[in-house]
Amino acid sequence: MTPELTGVDLTDPATYRGTGRLALWRTARRRCPIVRISSSRHGPFWSVTTHDLARQVLEDPVRFTSTRGMRLGTDEAAVTAAAGRMLVVADGADHARLRAAHAAWFRSDEVTAMRDALRQRLEAEVETLATGEPVEIVQRLADTVPVWAMGRMLGTSEADTTRLAEFVRAAFAEETGQGRRSARRAASAHVFGYFANLLESRREDPRGDVVSALAHEPDPDRRLADDEILLSCDGLVNGGLGTSRHAVSGVLLAFARHPDQWLRLRQDHSLIPSAVEEVLRWASPPMHIMRTATSDVLLGGARVQAGDRVVLWIPSCNRDESVFAEPDAFRIDRRPNRHLSLGAGPHYCVGASVGRIEVRVLLQVLLDKVDRIELRGEPVRTASTFLHGLDRLEVALLPIHRPDGEVTV
């Protein structure tokens, strides 16, 4: 560990609430791109902060497995029980089988219907927000957009999906202590209980949602057992409600911080696809991804031993100077954009299309109705080692004024 990093606890959620995380990672990339950390919270692991090393790990599931957990702090017994039966903790043939079962729905017409419904909801919501008055975006948009999308995916009511989101967040809260562990277990049990009831309902009354698709898979080679479907549902809501929340707030923060880029996007809508990718890179919603070495391996000059855990810090990898020119700049025309916010290799996010839709539709609606996005107060970052985003973001959405004097809202 270099002197600049001595005394910094990378496993303390509070570390990422301050403003020094980017400088910390910049130093790590330059001086110790892979270094062994001894954590009082989670034990020893290798910390990786560069893009190339992270890709090597993510693209090699033979030497770096996900079956022993994909994040720090997870319950080892729960991971062992789910290994090979849940997408994020499966490799090889197990992973291919699970992914094939999921992928069918994400290629279906239901995704297009979800996009159209999301746009209608966002148009109505932005109409109420684009007044020029301060708006707290995390509560009004970042918390709600993923809930709307997830409700369409699951075929659940908004009230049920909102409540489900609350339990999912409670299940993954990072506070320590026996009381918090018990609360997490109780929240997780509620989530699985809800999905067990939902699965039973969809068996009797199939609809167009992902649960129905999994429950009524016609191909016996892709058909999942009930416990695998429940684990799949849990994985989908964890990913969809967590990272998407921070992608949405990342849209507003990025363009509030860079008004020149908003003006350019308003002038040239053909840049929307590359703007979506740049939002995902610049915001970097996942904080870390973990793998475990299955054999002794040399990684970036470090001798990683079998059983060692390797933690990839995604926001650092997405600002690696050797891959991204001016990495701290937000540039909507950035091409190529090889960010790792959706992963890489076999575990590339199965729901990537939905994540991109949420960002793209939000941008399209804002472009139709908002002239400028202005920051009101300093954002409050989330204290988390797993997700990289905001707990509070206040902005003003200034409406577009047409030449006839009408305000577009």
Q: Which residues share a beta bridge with 313?
A: 288
- Is there a domain that residue 276 lies in? yes
Q: What is the pLDDT of residues 212-269, one digit of tens each?
A: 999 999 998 889 999 999 999 999 998 888 899 999 999 999 999 999 999 999 999 9
> DSSP H helical segments within 107-155, as ranges?
109-129, 137, 145-154
Question: Cα separations (Å) of 364 from 115, 129, 150, 265?
Answer: 12, 15, 20, 10
Q: Which residues share a beta bridge with 298?
A: 303
Distance, CA of 44 to CA of 49 (rounded, Å): 16
Distance, CA of 130 to CA of 139 (rounded, Å): 15
Helix/strand/coil for 161: helix
- Is there a domain that residue 4 lies in? no
The CATH number of the domain where 378 resides is what? 1.10.630.10
On the question of pLDDT at 409 being above 50, the answer is: no
- Is there a domain that residue 5 lies in? no
Q: What is the pLDDT of residues 293-329, one digit of tens each?
A: 999 999 999 999 999 999 999 999 999 999 999 999 9
Distance, CA of 3 to CA of 278 (rounded, Å): 33
Mean pLDDT of 26-42: 94
Domain residues for the domain of 342 are: 13-408
- Is there a domain that residue 7 lies in? no
By CB atoms closer than 10 A (0-12, 13-18, 19+), residue 125 is: middle
**CB distance 66 to 88 below 8 Å:** yes
Q: What percent of the chain has pLDDT over 70?
A: 95
- Is there a domain that residue 260 lies in? yes
Q: Structural domain tally of the chain? A: 1
Q: What is the pLDDT of residues 364-393, one digit of tens each?
A: 999 999 999 999 999 999 999 999 999 999
Q: What is the pLDDT of residue 64?
A: 98
Torsion angle defined by CA atoms of residues 315, 320, 326 and 328, in that order, rounded to the nearest 10 degrees: 20
Model confidence at 3, pLDDT cuts 50, 70, 90, reads very low
- CA 369 from chain centre, in angstroms, equals 27
Question: Cα separations (Å) of 173 from 74, 79, 105, 169, 353?
Answer: 11, 17, 29, 6, 27
